[in-house]
Structure 1
Amino acid sequence: MRWIFFSLVFGNLLLLVVFWQKQHEPVADVTALEIPGNSRTLLLVSEAGDSLRPVDKSSRQVVRERGDMCYAAGPYADELDARHLLARVAAVGLTGKMNIVEVQTGEPAEYWVHVPPRATREEALRTLKELQKRKFDSYIITQGELAEGVSLGLFRNKESAYGLRKQVEEFGVPVEVLVVNESRREFWVEVVEVTQLSERMRERIQAGDADIRWELTACTVQ
């Protein structure tokens, strides 16, 4: 009977050793669990990184509100009227900016008689001296596309401009007439928050200005 007792004790000790070893074995890292029913993957929080960070809703709202397009109200012929609308935009908590647009009417306003640009400043000076010797009022153009040319004056009367051109050409000097078209200024008020500008809100801001319109346009507000 003694050997049976010692066998039981030895067996229990052996089981205790095996159990103790299993408790101290390293556990394999689990990174993902594939779900057979769909294509989703379960990730550990420690491995998800930035994907689990809260979304900045305010930043997303700014992108959606601003975008690339703004509403523009106009045109106003009077700057003061445009500023009044700009003040109403600010009063309702929106972001506005006034833009000035030069609009060509297509009607000639002036005729610019000039010698086309010379190759160098020295050549322009020689042409100037030749014209002044012939008693033509003139000066060198120093800026713009006609720089290094020589101006002979601006005329509102077409016949006067072309008459001067003919006189100068008699001395072998090339002359051109540039037609400067008439333009007018328009004042527009640009509003950033497109999604907030319902028809009712636009009417409130417009405040009875019957001669203006609202247009979607590319934003210039920074």
Structure 2
Amino acid sequence: MRWIVLALLLANIGLFAWFQATGRAPAMVATAERLPGTGEGETVRLVSEVPAEQLAPAAAKPEPDPEPEARGESLCTLIGPFEEAYQGEDVTERLRALQLDADLRELEMKGQMRYWVFLAPRETRREAFRKLRELQAEGIDSYVIPDGSLTNGISFGIFSEPERAENLAEELRGRGHRVRTREEPQTYLERWVVMPPGEIDGLAEEFWSQLQSDYPDLGRRRNLCSEVAAD
């Protein structure tokens, strides 16, 4: 047994001397890791062989925009719409009888997008009508815009298709008129019963079912209170 141990010791000393004489270093144990996405039987590479960009942690996904309530914005409940004012008043009174805060309002709703072809507003109404007479003398259908952000401008029409608006604009530009186009959402008024945040929680489901029985087209939605505030 002693000779075996002595032989192994001499062999190790000889091997170490050989490494020193040749300038080679003993092999070191390398740390290895399985690359993401590799399964059983797939290649395992040394950490030193892996590109740096693959070792970098994955970029964090952007956080989704918080809900309005998380941003501190209050959401009101809307019940409606009502074709006739007396219908909205009836529902308002029923809710108030239950000690719930409810208010019937006419809200401006956005409809289909429209495309307006126009000339920029003139300094005065007199100048606007002077320009209108020139256009009508050329056989161009137009009118003076009486109010709004384009007061004293000249309108050539409002279209539901952008292609029609652009075609007319190009035709008028070809005749020397510096017309413009812009998108203009169509708006209309609807009657809705507005309830402040939390009030809908006091509305029993049986009561809501009765309302829908009396008004089959009745719906409810939530909207920012700032957008449905009373004037």
Alignment pair present for 1:199 and 2:201: yes
- TM-score (ref. length: structure 1): 0.51
Question: Quick one: which of 91, 104, 126 aligns to 1:98?
Answer: 104
Distance in 1, matches of 2:93 and 2:159, equals 42
Alignment pair present for 1:143 and 2:108: no
Match of 1:163 in 2: 167
Change (3 A) 1:152 1:215: closer
Cα distance, 1:182 vs structure 2: 4.0
Counterpart code for 1:100: E
Cα distance, 1:126 vs structure 2: 2.7
Distance in 2, matches of 1:71 and 1:91, equals 23
Cα distance, 1:137 vs structure 2: 1.1
Cα distance, 1:123 vs structure 2: 2.6
Match of 2:94 in 1: 88
What do residues 163-188 of structure 1 show as CA deviations (whole Å, max 9, x unaligned)? 22122222322111222224465543
Change (3 A) 1:170 1:130: farther
Change (3 A) 1:205 1:134: same
Contact map agreement 2:81 2:219 (CA 8 A) in 1: no
Change (3 A) 1:186 1:97: same
Per mean C-alpha deviation after superposition, the further-off stretch among 150-159 and 87-96 is: 87-96
Alignment pair present for 1:212 and 2:216: no
Identical amino acids, percent of aligned pairs: 27
Alignment pair present for 1:125 and 2:129: yes
Distance in 1, matches of 2:223 and 2:153, equals 42
Match of 2:12 in 1: none
Change (3 A) 1:75 1:176: farther
Cα distance, 1:146 vs structure 2: 0.5
Distance in 2, matches of 1:183 and 1:93, equals 33
- TM-score (ref. length: structure 2): 0.50
- Please list every run of 5 or more consecutive structure 1 residues that lacks an aligned counterpart in the other structure: 1-69
Aligned Cα root-mean-square deviation (Å): 3.7
Counterpart code for 1:140: V
Counterpart code for 1:146: L
What do residues 148-207 of structure 1 show as CA deviations (whole Å, max 9, x unaligned)? 111112223333222221222223221112222244655432357x89x58344546534
Cα distance, 1:125 vs structure 2: 2.4
Distance in 2, matches of 1:174 and 1:207, equals 57
Question: Quick one: which of 113, 119, 133 aligns to 1:115?
Answer: 119
Contact map agreement 2:82 2:192 (CA 8 A) in 1: no
Cα distance, 1:100 vs structure 2: 2.5
Distance in 1, matches of 2:110 and 2:185, equals 7
Match of 1:31 in 2: none
Match of 1:4 in 2: none
- Residues 42-57 of structure 1 correspond to what in structure 2 (within 5 A)? none
Contact map agreement 1:85 1:206 (CA 8 A) in 2: no
Change (3 A) 1:199 1:216: farther
SS of the equivalent of 1:104 reads: strand
- Please list every run of 5 or more consecutive structure 2 residues that lacks an aligned counterpart in the other structure: 1-73, 213-217
Contact map agreement 1:114 1:177 (CA 8 A) in 2: yes
